[in-house]
Structure 1
Amino acid sequence: MGLRKKNKTPPVLSHEFIIQNHADIVSCVAMVFLLGLMFEMTAKIAVAFVTLQYNVTLPETGEKMDQVILYHYGFKDLATIFFYTLVAIILHAILQEYVLDKINRRMHFSKTKHSKFNESGQLSAFYLASFVWGAFILASENYASNPTNLWESYPHTLMPFQVKFFYIAQLAYWLHALPELYFQKTRKEDIPRQLVYTSLYIFHIAGAYLLNLNRFGLVLMVLHYFVELLFHVSRLFYFNNEKNERGFTLWAFLFVVARLLTLSLSVLTFGFGLAGAQNQSLDLTTGNFNILAVRISALAGICLTQAYMMWKFINFQLKRWKEHAQMQALKKKATNTKSKATKKENKANGVNGVITFEDRDSPRARKVKSS
């Protein structure tokens, strides 16, 4: 596809060759599945990768007798997630090549800022798309209009098309972030941090999907993505102008609010909503996981994650305040040194620190020797 311009051609199948051409290689693999749809012998296999599986047609109750197509999950979803992981890698490469790399060349960032700018640029685009998409689903499906919608009629085994596709896309994106650590030549010191938050995303999203808590997970994702979007957009503006820090102040406030809302919704859902439901027996056939052990485990996992995020947030703020105090101390010290030097210079050139007109422009009169 020619997504990247290469000056030198490294040896075929070498690490550098794969890194430079990974978008083209992945595009060819994705094209194989798309071409498979065109032939009858391979169409059944290709469909499992490209389209959503496990659809159920139900008659709609009401005045209109139209049919409603809903979806549940199954093992074939792994094939769909794999295909859209390839799509995510291709989109990542396009955004990097045609947007972020061009900005980097103009701004002349250092290696550290270059890496952080690329990370924030990619995540800003993803968080923006996911937030708008998720908010549209919440509005169209009326999930956020009433908190009881998060647990009423549990288990939510049947999902509308856009809800299932949203979860498939989320899992595909965060799974694509793992090979991107290799493709983007991520620095060794940044790999553990990115592995931790990527694994947390995959764990929580997959948990909400498999436990049939898709409504609850969708609300939390939209809330979290909005706050993360604000952070990474603020960081992009900060890289452009280091004096622009207002976005971080707003983000810090909303970050704490989002953590409190997440904990409140979690306690409300698991501690009151699902705990008060009539059917509280484990039934894998119907997808009912509403038992005490699952509720406690899910709530504990969410609480531990929120505590971990708050701990990282507090450390981040303390580090920022410490760096800000050091910068202010250095500026104050430099100002004092400069003022002292100016005073010494003035005293050397004038009387009481004031340089007179005669001192600046007229040479001193020489004393005439008497004969």
Structure 2
Amino acid sequence: QVTAKTAFLFILPQYNVSVPTADGELVQYHYGLKDLVTILFYIFIAIILHAVVQEYALDKINRRLHLSKVKHSKFNESGQLVAFHLTSLIWCLYVVVTEGYISNPRSLWENYPHIYLPYQVKFFYLCQLAYWLHALPELYFQKVRKEEIPRQLRCIALYLLHIAGAYLLNLTRLGLILLLLQYLAEFFFHMARLVCFTDENNEKLFNVWAVVFVVTRLFTLTLYILVIGFGLPRVESQALDPERGNLFSFLFNNILFRMSVLLLVCLFQASVMWRFIHFQLRRWREYWNEQSSRKRAAAAAGTKQQTKLLKRDSGYHENGVVKAENGTSPRTKKLKSP
């Protein structure tokens, strides 16, 4: 009883508000500094779950595969992300369906800023921020190689920037749809890596990931243009009101700010597509080089086999003279005189 109020501060989302509706009152939430305490608690939960998945699933599979150190590290990374992306994908899909964001696309920008959030939306964002923040100490716990740390730090920073940006700018509805698309593509990518570690010749899932990646990028760019370029300009102007919680949302009233954000998004998506195309071209080049080397090796083996078969005969021709197997000319039989 003494520590109950403090414990609720760590476990449950804070800043609940009773919003009047036609059917009565509805309890919703907005963000604040106390969210940092809740995120801290779920960082420890994420670290524990990370260790459970590593010990009871990934380590057992690694012992059977006998992978090298480099592949072992990549296998652990993809295994953890497959579990996280699959869980987040199902959770995010459930939220957007139950809240009606897919059935009513106009709700992505109507009544903006979306200051008050349903419980499950706020809790989802807090858990997402906690997971990507827990990935920072996991770089030490997992003993990630120094060469891999910059890449992983860049990935973590991009996720934190986009999720926190959607949360603080009250673009949580748009952020949910974009996370759903992003996690769908990432799930197929890391699943393809896991299958490739078990069977190097099986690259079918990489082809599926390539298709899903392109489709999700097109949907992502379309949603950005639809919501930021066409939807938000139709919303009534909102003045700066820190007490209501729209501390940053009023920026989208400025057309220059909206266009700047849209331009940055388009440039970022273009850079992602360029890296994807470069990756696919390199992968296809390696595939065709491997196929051509196999054909050359098969042709060389066939030539050697034919040469051996010829040498097994009584002799073979060299410079127009029939030679025996030891290199000497075969003796000609003398004909007896009649």
Q: Same fold by TM (over 0.5)?
A: yes
User: For 1:113-262, what aligned pairs fall within 5 Å after superposition?
Assistant: 113-262=71-220
Query: Is 1:336 aligned to residue 304 of structure 2?
Result: no
**Is the contact between residue 282 and residue 291 of structure 1 (CA under 8 Å) also seen in structure 2?**
no
Q: Distance in 2 between matches of 1:334 and 1:215?
A: 56
**Is the contact between residue 234 and residue 247 of structure 1 (CA under 8 Å) also seen in structure 2?**
yes
Partner of 1:58: 19
Partner of 2:234: 276
Can you give the 5+ residue segments of structure 1 that lack an aligned partner in the other structure?
A: 1-38, 354-366
What is the CA distance between 1:200 and its match in structure 2? 0.4
Partner of 1:348: 311
User: For structure 1, which segment, 243-252 or 213-222, has the greater mean C-alpha deviation from structure 2 after superposition?
Assistant: 243-252
What is the CA distance between 1:76 and its match in structure 2? 0.4
What is the CA distance between 1:352 and its match in structure 2? 9.2
Secondary structure, aligned partner of 2:234: coil
Cα RMSD, aligned residues only: 2.2
Can you give the 5+ residue segments of structure 2 that lack an aligned partner in the other structure?
A: 317-332
What is the CA distance between 1:351 and its match in structure 2? 6.3
Q: Distance in 1 between matches of 2:230 and 2:202?
A: 43
Please, which of 254, 268, 291 is the counterpart of residue 253 of structure 2? 291
Q: Distance in 1 between matches of 2:22 and 2:13?
A: 24
Could you tell me which amino acid in structure 1 is paired with residue 41 of structure 2?
F
What is the CA distance between 1:316 and its match in structure 2? 1.4
What is the CA distance between 1:297 and its match in structure 2? 3.9
Distance 1:281 1:300, change over 3 A: farther
Deviations 1:267-300 (A, max 9, x none): 1111111012221544433313232244234323
**Is the contact between residue 131 and residue 222 of structure 1 (CA under 8 Å) also seen in structure 2?**
yes
What is the CA distance between 1:160 and its match in structure 2? 0.7
Distance 1:317 1:183, change over 3 A: same
Partner of 1:359: none
What is the CA distance between 1:230 and its match in structure 2? 1.1
Secondary structure, aligned partner of 1:100: helix
Q: Distance in 2 between matches of 1:131 and 1:198?
A: 18
User: For 1:302-313, what aligned pairs fall within 5 Å after superposition?
Assistant: 302-313=265-276
Q: Distance in 2 between matches of 1:247 and 1:352?
A: 54
Partner of 2:6: 45
Partner of 2:35: 77
What is the TM-score of this pair, normalised by structure 2?
0.88
Q: Distance in 1 between matches of 2:306 and 2:315?
A: 10
Could you tell me which amino acid in structure 2 is paired with residue 136 of structure 1?
Y
Could you tell me which amino acid in structure 1 is paired with residue 293 of structure 2?
L
Query: Is 1:99 aligned to residue 57 of structure 2?
Result: yes
Secondary structure, aligned partner of 2:233: coil
**Is the contact between residue 143 and residue 149 of structure 1 (CA under 8 Å) also seen in structure 2?**
yes
**Is the contact between residue 57 and residue 69 of structure 1 (CA under 8 Å) also seen in structure 2?**
yes
Could you tell me which amino acid in structure 1 is paired with residue 304 of structure 2?
A
What is the CA distance between 1:333 and its match in structure 2? 2.0
Query: Is 1:267 aligned to residue 225 of structure 2?
Result: yes
Distance 1:178 1:308, change over 3 A: farther
What is the CA distance between 1:91 and its match in structure 2? 0.5
Secondary structure, aligned partner of 1:275: helix
What is the CA distance between 1:175 and its match in structure 2? 0.6
Partner of 1:363: none
Partner of 1:17: none
What is the percent sequence identity of the aligned residues? Answer: 53
Partner of 2:324: none
Please, which of 278, 284, 301 is the counterpart of residue 264 of structure 2? 301
Deviations 1:199-227 (A, max 9, x none): 00000000000000100000100111111
Q: How many residue pairs end up in the alignment?
A: 316
Q: Distance in 2 between matches of 1:258 and 1:347?
A: 59
User: For structure 1, which segment, 309-318 or 335-344, has the greater mean C-alpha deviation from structure 2 after superposition?
Assistant: 309-318
What is the CA distance between 1:249 and its match in structure 2? 0.9
Could you tell me which amino acid in structure 1 is paired with residue 31 of structure 2?
Y
Could you tell me which amino acid in structure 2 is paired with residue 341 of structure 1?
K
Deviations 1:19-47 (A, max 9, x none): xxxxxxxxxxxxxxxxxxxx51x433332
Deviations 1:277-328 (A, max 9, x none): 2215444333132322442343233223312221221221122112212211
Q: Distance in 2 between matches of 1:126 and 1:294?
A: 34
Q: Distance in 1 between matches of 2:263 and 2:124?
A: 25
